Chain A
């Protein structure tokens, strides 16, 4: 009951306060949908913290904002690295004249120039056991000598940052050489992630454990207000190196006016205000009031935003709001625990195939995703090499007759004798509705389920400890490489804490996967990826779900807006048309 009252009140409060706000300069207003854990790059594990971290910090590389498919380009590196023939040595030239933001940690409070050794320090920090970085997996076992350095630090209890690591070398202030232990084609992607951004040793040492709240980087914005559960404000970095707006983009970007600011100095806005708005409704209402500039559409506000024809409703058209629909690189799936003691039947391929056939994802696309999703045929989503638009998975056809036949072949005609399956999910409303939907689908072939709801950390814990039988989850790409999705089914990842929660073990798959992931992008590799994806489609270690389409809205005064799956520092490219905003908000 109280919830309803609060909702009514919040409407009043919002409409009450908008009239008094006066903005100076060009301000970008955005919303973050989760609380921020902190501003330390080494701990930026979730998308939301990573987004905030990358407003202040920068790494060697980044994804090109407008080119598609996603391509990697230099950021703090002068140019793309020279890679040795055997793929083991990466030679970087560091950009000259890049300054750290002013901070009391530096002499006279003036930021100093970025040097190659800062990257060596930052990488070692990821390996420092005391830091407990959640990004260590990016470098683990990959850089010559870094694992030994970590082992020595663990042993002595204190990391020695002066000790040399053979695989990290700075011959002068602007040259950095990284030596790998084995060829890892995905390594360049690792260098775009906020984890590998440059931090200054002076700043880390001055603030100690409070470094989490004191971001000092080389990035386009300087943090001004930091209330991680409410609001964060950033101002333009006056000493930002002369980064400029890109002159190239994907076909059609120029015509769409996305490159109108080509060549201009970045960033294009004076301030960024980030509000933390966890609940759907307040966030949506803020957007409708024009207080925030971009928003995803909550499932239940869909009808208010998009009409039956798939276009914006008159209300939003009148507000001149823009709609964008982009295929997100993610995959939802329902996983079987193939080593479940309670349901040993999940070891049987016929059983898994039958359950996969029983699950009708087409109706759920309508009910839960407002038709903004496509049925996935293999674990590789569209937009990534290895995705095969022509492949049709027969176990995703919802052929109930075939499902019953396969289940009978496995010895469970009409589900008789099949144990009741526990389906684990989250406790929120939509998750529970989805669980009811799973129950309903499996009943069609006589398989009974019992639903168990959990908190998000509790569910992950259960999966890690193999205390689940059947559960729903999704995976979002870390980088645009099918390896990132196929590793979900890689045998050695089938361990507590590993990503292969299904405990799918297939020697043939593992062998091919190991071969494919060490290859540079090529038609041969794409062929291997497709082969691997079809193996998963056929063996059904999971019931494949959907690939979602990210539907978002942005205000008419936001220019240069484009959906970006990975790069988290897009704010520097956005321009706010302040005159238009004033005019429209009158």
Chain B
């Protein structure tokens, strides 16, 4: 009885989780379309930041409150009270929103992940303290919390990002804590432990990659809520100062509607609607793609 030795080289090579997810995401045509829209917004934001587009938003391009017209693209969405192009203001607003969304998520995600991981992994006193902290913060109405932070830190884009970031980490922290509680008892972690892996190695090398899909999905949802909160804060006059934002545009529209000027509201809400919807669909598709159960 002889049997052929297993030829290891001939085994089909497995795909990594990310590669697999990417393949599945690509199959979803609509999600890819939405992703390209989000990337388009990001590109516009970068170009605005570099001063290549919308740098001239503060210049007068027509009469005060000119309605939308087909001529120059600057006038597609009409003009505001000072005769400035509404479309340029909307583009500039996209830059503000994307920046706030990105920065706030970049603050909230690491804070949430690190605290959640520590709480879930170590348990005991550390867990108690962190649980107390996020329960307390989540009990404060988020809008009021951000309002009071905006008053303390002063107004402007930076303080708004800090305010948003320091309140938005709660959800992700809670989620990661739960996952870590579950994973730390799993065999693969126990195996790593018996091989002498340190705590840090077990947290970051072993467990974290297994919960990273949650981080990515949450990142996209945090992004959306940051954009929405930016608009609300700016609407209340606590957001960005002296530069256009979708929130301030909607605030202006509140009075302008009475005189029949609808285009600022239309432009700002349309821009916001498209990006929020796209991010939502991308987030949903990501969840499906990254979920191992749906393989």
Interface residues in chain A, defined as those with a beta carbon under 8 Å from any beta carbon in chain B: 1, 3, 280-281, 284, 298-304, 367, 427-430, 432-433, 435-437, 439-440, 449-453
Q: Are A427 and B259 in contact (CB under 8 A)?
A: no
Q: Does B127 contact A (CB under 8 A)?
A: no
CB-CB under 8 A from B252, the residues of chain A are: 429, 433
The answer, among A281, A300, A303, A428, for a CB contact under 8 Å with B237, is A428
**Bound Cα distance from A84 to B269, whole angstroms:** 70
**How far, in Å, is A284 (CB) from chain B's closest CB?**
8
- Is the beta-carbon distance between A301 and B258 smaller than 8 angstroms? yes
Q: Known contacts A367-B81, A437-B82, A450-B242: does B255 contact A429 (CB below 8 Å)?
A: yes
* Interface bracket on B: 20 to 34
Nearest neighbor of A302 in chain B, beta-carbon distance: B259
For the complex, is B179 an interface residue (Cβ under 8 Å from A)? Answer: no
List of A residues within 8 angstroms of B18 by Cβ:
none
Q: Nearest 6 A-B pairs (CB), nearest first?
A: A427-B237, A300-B258, A300-B255, A451-B242, A453-B237, A300-B259
B155 within 8 A of A: yes
Q: Is the CB of A429 within 8 A of B254?
A: yes
Shortest beta-carbon distance from A183 to chain B in Å? 47
Contact B241 A440 (CB under 8 A): no
Q: Mark B243-282, 1 if CB is under 8 A from A, else 0.
A: 0000010011011111110000000010000000000000
B interface vs A, CB < 8 Å? Answer: 58, 64, 81-82, 155, 236-238, 241-242, 248, 251-252, 254-260, 269
Residue of B nearest to A451 (CB): B242
**In this complex, what residue of B is CB-closest to A450?**
B242
Q: Are B258 and A452 in contact (CB under 8 A)?
A: no
User: 24 A-B Cβ contacts within 8 A?
Assistant: A280-B255, A284-B258, A298-B258, A300-B255, A300-B257, A300-B259, A301-B259, A302-B259, A304-B258, A367-B64, A367-B82, A427-B238, A429-B255, A432-B237, A432-B251, A433-B252, A435-B242, A436-B242, A450-B241, A450-B242, A451-B242, A452-B155, A452-B241, A453-B237
In whole angstroms, how far apart are the Cα atoms of A451 and B241 in the complex? 6
Set of chain A residues within 8 Å of B155, measured between Cβ atoms? 452-453
CB distance from A161 to the nearest CB of B (A): 43
User: Which residues of the other chain, B, contact A453 by a CB distance below 8 angstroms?
Assistant: 155, 237-238, 241
- B236: which A residues are within 8 A, CB to CB? 427
Nearest chain-B residue to A435 (Cβ)?
Answer: B242
Cβ distance B88 to chain A, nearest Cβ, rounded Å: 14
- CB <8 Å contact, A281 and B258: yes
CB distance from A408 to the nearest CB of B (A): 24
Contacts of B248 in A (CB 8 A): 432
Q: How far is the CA of A397 from the CA of B86 in the complex (A)?
A: 31
| B84 → chain A closest CB, angstroms | 9
User: B259 and A304: CB pair below 8 A?
Assistant: yes
**Extra 11 A-B pairs, beta carbons < 8 Å, given A436-B242, A449-B242, A452-B241:** A284-B258, A300-B259, A301-B259, A303-B260, A428-B237, A432-B237, A433-B82, A435-B242, A436-B82, A439-B242, A440-B58
Asked, given contacts A429-B251, A453-B237, whether A440 binds B258 with beta carbons under 8 Å apart, the answer is: no
Give the residue name and chain of the B residue nearest to A3 (CB). B254
Chain B residues whose CB sits within 8 angstroms of the CB of A1 once the complex forms: 269
Docked complex Cα distance between A516 and B72 (Å): 60
B-chain residues with CB within 8 Å of residue A367 when the two chains form the complex: 64, 81-82
A440–B81 Cα distance when bound, in Å, is: 13
Residue numbers in B under 8 Å from A450 (CB-CB): 241-242
Out of A3, A298, A440, A452, name the residue touching B82 (CB < 8 Å).
A440
CB distance from A437 to the nearest CB of B (A): 7
Chain A residues with Cβ under 8 A from B260's Cβ? 303
Residues of B within 8 A of A449 (CB): 242
> In the complex, what residues of A have CB within 8 A of residue B81's CB?
367, 433
Q: Report the minimum CB–CB distance from A347 to chain B (whole Å).
A: 26
Chain B contacts of A437 at CB under 8 A? Answer: 82
CA distance in complex: A286, B291 (Å): 56
B259 cross-chain contacts in A, Cβ below 8 A: 300-304
Which residues of the partner chain B approach A303 to less than 8 Å between Cβ atoms? 259-260
Bound CA–CA A3/B251 (angstroms): 10
Q: Nearest Cβ distance between residue A163 and chain B, in whole angstroms?
A: 46
The residues of B that contact A436 with a CB separation of less than 8 Å are: 82, 242
Q: Given the complex, which residues of B lie within 8 Å of A299, measured CB to CB?
A: 255
Contacts of A435 in B (CB 8 A): 242
CB distance from A96 to the nearest CB of B (A): 53
B82, B256, B258 interface centre (most CB from chain A within 10 Å) = B258
**Min C-beta distance of B91 to chain A, whole Å:** 18
Tell me how far the C-beta of B240 lies from the nearest C-beta in chain A, rounded to whole angstroms: 10
Determine the chain A residues whose CB is within 8 A of the CB of B242 once the complex forms. 435-436, 439, 449-451
Given the complex of chains A and B, what is the CA–CA distance between A438 and B236 in angstroms? 21
B137, chain A: closest CB distance, angstroms: 24
Contacts of A440 on B, CB cut-off 8 Å?
Answer: 58, 82
Q: Which residue of A lies closest to B80 (CB)?
A: A433
CB neighbours of B254 from chain A (8 A): 3, 429
B274 CB to nearest A CB, Å: 15
In the complex, A356→B260 CA distance in Å? 34
**How far does the Cβ of A409 sit from chain B's closest Cβ, in whole Å?**
28
